[in-house]
Amino acid sequence: MNPPVIAYVSVYLAGLLLSVGFQTFVDYMVVWNHRELARVTSPDNQVDAVFVEPIIGRLSKDSALYLVPKGEPPPASGPALRGTGFRELPVLVWKEPHLLAVNYSRGCIDNFSSLWRSEDVGDGLHYVEVQLNATTTLPCIGDSSDAPRSNASKSVTGG
């Protein structure tokens, strides 16, 4: 005997509701876990660049840069930059109303988008170009002068 179609539809809808509820919970936890470290407003007073880090590292280890309409909190998703290992706070510099420079010395960039656009700012289509400017040669792994000295000259037998 075949189960009625309503059983399949019910299981499908229950799964859909569960996945939407789970994603909403995850988004809430991400927003709750943000600590705002820097907020810099664009020269035209339209956009804020907001750099955040996680409060609880076990939930997320990634720091992030969000571009948001002025005064808005950072959302749960869609950062312009996501990275780890920042030893110092990146310096956010608006060079022009549509050009943001992110100057950093140490940190690994895990995800980056050089162009941000929003339909919620100004006349309905606002864009910002984001430039990454590493101030050290190897910002993720460190300069060779900072690396521990190699033991390559020692023999395998300890001699």
Q: Is residue 19 part of a domain?
A: no
Coil/strand/helix, residue 77: coil
Q: Domain of residue 121: give its range.
A: 33-134
67 or 8, greater pLDDT? 67
Q: Is residue 52 part of a domain?
A: yes
Q: Is residue 44 part of a domain?
A: yes
Q: Is residue 91 part of a domain?
A: yes
Q: Is residue 158 part of a domain?
A: no
| Tokens, residue 116 | 């941000």
Q: Number of folded domains in the chain?
A: 1
Q: Is residue 85 part of a domain?
A: yes
Q: Is residue 1 part of a domain?
A: no
Report pTM: 0.69
110 or 15, greater pLDDT? 110
Q: Mind listing the pLDDT tens digit for each residue in 65-99? A: 999 999 998 886 789 999 988 888 999 999 999 99
Average pLDDT in the chain? 78
Out of 25-29, 95-99, 115-119, 124-128, give the one with best mean pLDDT. Answer: 95-99
Report which of 113, 103, 112, 111 is spatially closest to residue 139, judged by C-alpha positions.
103
Report which of 108, 127, 109, 107 is spatially closest to residue 117, judged by C-alpha positions.
127
Q: What is the CA radius of gyration of the chain?
A: 22
Q: Is residue 90 part of a domain?
A: yes
Positive or negative, the CA dihedral 39, 63, 92, 95 is negative
